[in-house]
Structure 1
Amino acid sequence: MWSWVLHRITGVVLFFFLLVHVLDTGLVRVSPEAYDIVIESYKNPIVGLAEVGLVGAFLFHSLNGLRVVLIDFWEHGTRFHRQMFYGVVGLWVILMVPFTLRHLGFVFGE
């Protein structure tokens, strides 16, 4: 059940990110100066931490989506759904730890 809940939450987070991304990128057509100001405002530690959350949401949503596809289209998918969930969580941790360390090094200065 938690994978279902997390999949929905990460999907909503990614939807709102894409909405903001399209709006702020579209701003370049209206006023390049305003676009530069908005992009410059993103360069702070709070947004840097939010980027870690965004990458985490994207990564979990992607990996869990592949798990859902396997459950739906693999004949043994329902039998191994729990093991696949633990695999998703394990792979998520393995991929997030180095990214987080590297990214926060850039955010807070190396």
Structure 2
Amino acid sequence: MWSWVAHRITGVLIFFFLFAHVLDTALVRVSPSSYDTVIATYKNPVVNLLEVGLVAAVLFHALNGIRIVLIDFWASGPRFQRQMLYTEIVLWVILVVPGTFYMLKHTVETLFGSAS
């Protein structure tokens, strides 16, 4: 049940991101200086946190979509849906944790200075 809800929520969030992305990219044709201003606002730590959330949402949505396809089109899919959900969650954590570290590394170094 909760994977169904999370799949819908991540789908809506991804849609709104894509909508905003198309709009801000379209600014380059209308007003390049406005586009530069918008892009400059994206270079702050808060937006970096939102990007990490976006990557996590896209990854969950993709993995859950694969699980749904397997449940629908594999004859034994419904019987193994719980195991596939647990596998999906483990894969998601395995991929999100190092991805988050990599994505936030630059922001942390910018805010607090590098260790070296």
TM-score normalized by the length of structure 1: 0.98
Structure 1: tracts of 5 or more residues without a match = none
Summarize deviations over 1:15-52 as a string: whole Å, max 9, x none.
00000000000110101111011001111111010111
What is the root-mean-square deviation of aligned Cα atoms in Å?
Answer: 0.7
- How many residue pairs end up in the alignment? 110
Instruction: Give the percent of matched residue pairs that are identical in Structure 1 and Structure 2.
Output: 65
TM-score normalized by the length of structure 2: 0.93
State how far apart, in whole Å, the 2-side matches of 1:83 and 1:9 are: 22
User: 1:84: which partner in 2?
Assistant: 84
Aligned-pair CA distance for 1:83: 0.5
Structure 2: tracts of 5 or more residues without a match = none
State how far apart, in whole Å, the 2-side matches of 1:107 and 1:11 are: 27
Aligned-pair CA distance for 1:108: 2.0
State how far apart, in whole Å, the 1-side matches of 2:56 and 2:76 are: 28
Corresponding position: 1:16 with 2:11:
no
Relative contact order: is structure 1 or structure 2 higher (C-alpha 8 Å, sep ≥ 6)?
1
State how far apart, in whole Å, the 2-side matches of 1:9 and 1:101 are: 24
Question: Match of 2:86, as an amino acid?
Answer: Y
Large movers: runs of 4+ above 3 Å? none
Question: Match of 2:63, as an amino acid?
Answer: L
Corresponding position: 1:45 with 2:79:
no
Alignment map for 1:25-104 (pairs within 5 Å): 25-104=25-104
User: Higher Cα Rg: structure 1 or 2?
Assistant: 2
State how far apart, in whole Å, the 1-side matches of 2:65 and 2:22 are: 23
State how far apart, in whole Å, the 2-side matches of 1:67 and 1:107 are: 33
